[in-house]
Amino acid sequence: MYEERPSRLPGAVVWTSTPTGGVPRPVLPDGCMDLLWNEGRLIVAGPDTRAHLPDGPATAWAGVRLHPGTAPALLGVPAHELRDRRVELTDLWPAATVRRLRAGIEAATHPAAALEELALERAAPPDPELRRLVAALAKGRPVATVADELGLGPRQLHRRSLHAFGYGPKTLARVLRLQRALALARRGVPYADTATRAGYADQAHFARDVKALSGMTPTVLLGRGAGAEGSGTGQEPVKGANRSTS
């Protein structure tokens, strides 16, 4: 079972996931990075450019999903160094520090709340320009238009985006468009209308992008077809559930 709540850290989400025996769903790109707790391990899930599928046995997870662009200041690592990766926190921070943090979370009644406290203690104030960029792209505004409004040239915007999000602004816009479209489709909006409202050229464009980023057709991903993978399981994607670290 998956549960989430807004974090006291602006824009972040605190979540937990416990196995229910359902079919796991892919973890889709969302522009975010997560700080994770799983079986005594502190893990960082970097920004995704493709879907991740769980491997290994299902276990309980807790996480803090950080607002796009805020994780590098907290972790002290540029986002592009963690793109499409899951890494142990000991690969980023001193081992003694991580041991102390791990002991505190293990002793906590609610690991997710302890994980949130860790993030709150180490978070830095968000970059207002990057927050404006994310907000504008999430609404479907063109990258060039937003860059002009922020007074950023193409090279400067790309460099800052790589550091903050792990990829360039056009990829970020594509990821946020996918999330916008899936939110519409999950509410029952027909695919043709979803495509138009989310900013795709047409329904075929929407279907191609879903396939490219998730590895599935919209019907299979959203469980609308009879016998579709993931249909009716009640499972939510767990960002850290791909157990490999590199």
Model confidence band, residue 228 (pLDDT cutoffs 50, 70, 90): very low
**50 or 238: which leads in pLDDT:** 50
Confirm if 131 and 165 have CB atoms less than 8 A apart.
no
* 130 has a pLDDT exceeding 70: yes
Cα angle: 146, vertex 215, 133; to 5 degrees = 10
Question: Residue 235: what pLDDT?
Answer: 42
> Is the per-residue pLDDT at 91 higher than 50?
yes
Helix, strand, coil content of the chain in percent (nearest 5): 45, 15, 40
pLDDT at 237 over 80: no
Mean pLDDT across 173-191? 96
Q: What is the mean pLDDT of the chain?
A: 89
**Residue 113: band (very low, low, confident or very high) from pLDDT cuts 50, 70, 90:** very high
What pTM value is reported for the model?
0.88
All domains of the chain, ordered by start, with CATH?
2-122 (no CATH), 128-222 (1.10.10.60)
Question: Where do runs of H (alpha helix) occur along 108-243?
Answer: 111-122, 128-138, 143-150, 154-165, 169-186, 191-198, 203-214, 218-222
Residues 14-68 have pLDDT tens digits of 999 998 876 677 889 999 999 999 999 999 999 999 998 777 778 899 999 999 9
Q: Provide, rounded to the nearest whole percent, the portion of the chain with pLDDT above 90.
A: 80
| Parallel, antiparallel or unpaired: strands 13-17 and 2-6 | antiparallel
* pLDDT, position 186: 94
What is the pLDDT confidence band of residue 119, given thresholds at 50, 70 and 90?
very high
230 dihedral zone (left: phi>0; alpha: psi -120 to 50; beta):
left
Owner of token pair 């404006």: 132
